[in-house]
Amino acid sequence: MSNKTWTKSELEKFKASIIKKKETALEDLSKIKDRTDNLIDQGSSNSIYSSHMADAGSDHQEMENAYYMMQREDTFIKHMEKALNMIEEGTFGVCSSCGVKISKARLEEVPHSSKCVDCKERSKL
Ligand SMILES: [Zn+2]
């Protein structure tokens, strides 16, 4: 039954890659935040010279995109944290429904998966 669990070294590799993904996402998040801060600064100065209606419109669009991206990064970071917790708890990479190991490819894509592809598909039906 040893093939039902991940070895310590395999888990260490997953952990390292999840931490890396999380760090990249945190960097992206702070870049987006910097950009929106700039937009907000520009926005407040624009309102004094309110002749740039078109610019204000595209700024607004860019702000919405930035918020959307921040939301996405934020969710991603939470997922990575969840995956790290699962490693600590020993529930990482094992299907909570049938108990088999979740495929490596799937875990690399979705590290916080708690179900194997089969069970996930079945739960959709
Ligand atoms: Zn399963």
Residue type, 49: Y
Query: What's the mean pLDDT in 30-36?
Result: 93
Using the predicted structure, report yes or no on whether residue 16 has a pLDDT greater than 90. yes
Report the separation in Å between the CA atom of 66 and the middle of ligand 1, taken as the mean of its atom positions: 37
Our CA dihedral for 43, 49, 51, 56, rounded to 10 degrees, sits at: 0
> Alpha-carbon distance 48 to 63, whole Å?
19
Report the separation in Å between the CA atom of 72 and the middle of ligand 1, taken as the mean of its atom positions: 27
Report the separation in Å between the CA atom of 116 and the middle of ligand 1, taken as the mean of its atom positions: 4
Q: Which tokens belong to 108? A: 């690399």
Using the predicted structure, report yes or no on whether residue 44 has a pLDDT greater than 90. no
Spell out which residues have Cβ within 5 A of ligand 1, the ion: 95, 97-98, 116, 119
